[in-house]
Structure 1
């Protein structure tokens, strides 16, 4: 299985980075081929630009994002690792979707109906959030999950999407975080 990890956190000392390392360790031990896109380390430019000279419909041929499109095309499975900020992905990851998962590459419209072009691929979404899980689910309606699962990934044809949410990060103990990391490692080995 060819796995593409898309990682979006600016701090190499973060829990998200520790999560990334456990994912890589588990995949490596099971012999999976994987590539990591560290959006901050690569200084990915999340700003989507188009206008009179460059049209939105031409983004599928943008040479600046060609490498990323090729990696997406080659991948069988995606793993996203990121924190939730303001009940959404970090801007750099949102920009990655805006610039790489573009019309004509990740989806098309057949008449007025969208059709995902990334069918047959699967995804594992791992994210941290400071709010407790009951708050996320009951008061926020899991907005952060619905957007990435349905509005982005399923829209692009990725039907098998699994979530691992680490809620209540702000008040979590070292012991709890260690258990979370061991769970990530076990799940990565079972991929």
Structure 2
């Protein structure tokens, strides 16, 4: 059993990076095998090219994304760590979904109906927002969450999905941030 962390934040001094460090520490302390895909450090190219030479149906054979598909295939648990910007995932992570979670690998169509192919996996999604929770829940109706949960992960067959949402980050105290990091460490350790 192994875990794959998919991390999307460009700043190594960010709170998201502290989250990553605490998740890794918790997994290490639990003697859990894991790998990390740091999309910014790896300079992942999020641009999906579709033209005469590059067909959407051939994305499963793209050599650029083969290593990422292999890592996902080998993992039983995915952990996604990212900030919410403009009520969505960072563009680099969206491009990762577009280029890696492709037909024939993450899903296929059985007639007109989609069938998820990543059924044997679970996911833990950890994300941060500067917005307060009441604003997200009431005015935005959790749009930042439903797209990732329903339109990507569940669509691809991942049904067991846990969420850790950290809101009002911009206005949080250092004490509150330390509490969050300790909780995340414990959750990672108890996976």
1:94 Cα deviation after fit: 0.3
2:58 corresponds in structure 1 to 58
Using the alignment, how far apart are the partners of 1:14 and 1:156 within structure 2?
Answer: 30
What root-mean-square deviation, in Å, do the aligned CA atoms of Structure 1 and Structure 2 show? 0.5
Using the alignment, how far apart are the partners of 1:62 and 1:98 within structure 2?
Answer: 12
1:54 Cα deviation after fit: 1.5
Q: Deviations over 1:128-187 (max 9, x none)?
A: 000001111111000000000010000000000000000001111101000000010010
1:105 corresponds in structure 2 to 105
Using the alignment, how far apart are the partners of 1:120 and 1:134 within structure 2?
Answer: 34
1:45 Cα deviation after fit: 0.2
Q: Note the 1:171-186 alignment, pairs <5 A.
A: 171-186=171-186
- Is the aligned partner of 1:93 residue 2:123? no
Using the alignment, how far apart are the partners of 2:139 and 2:169 within structure 1?
Answer: 17
Question: In the comparison of the two structures, how many residue pairs are matched?
Answer: 191
2:129 corresponds in structure 1 to 129
Using the alignment, how far apart are the partners of 1:48 and 1:103 within structure 2?
Answer: 14
Q: Deviations over 1:58-77 (max 9, x none)?
A: 00000010000000110100
Using the alignment, how far apart are the partners of 1:118 and 1:168 within structure 2?
Answer: 33
Unaligned runs of 5+ in 2: none
1:95 Cα deviation after fit: 0.3
1:13 corresponds in structure 2 to 13
Tell me the TM-score normalised to structure 2 length: 0.99
Using the alignment, how far apart are the partners of 2:28 and 2:170 within structure 1?
Answer: 30
Tell me the TM-score normalised to structure 1 length: 0.99
Unaligned runs of 5+ in 1: none
List structure 1 runs of 4+ shifted beyond 6 angstroms.
Answer: none
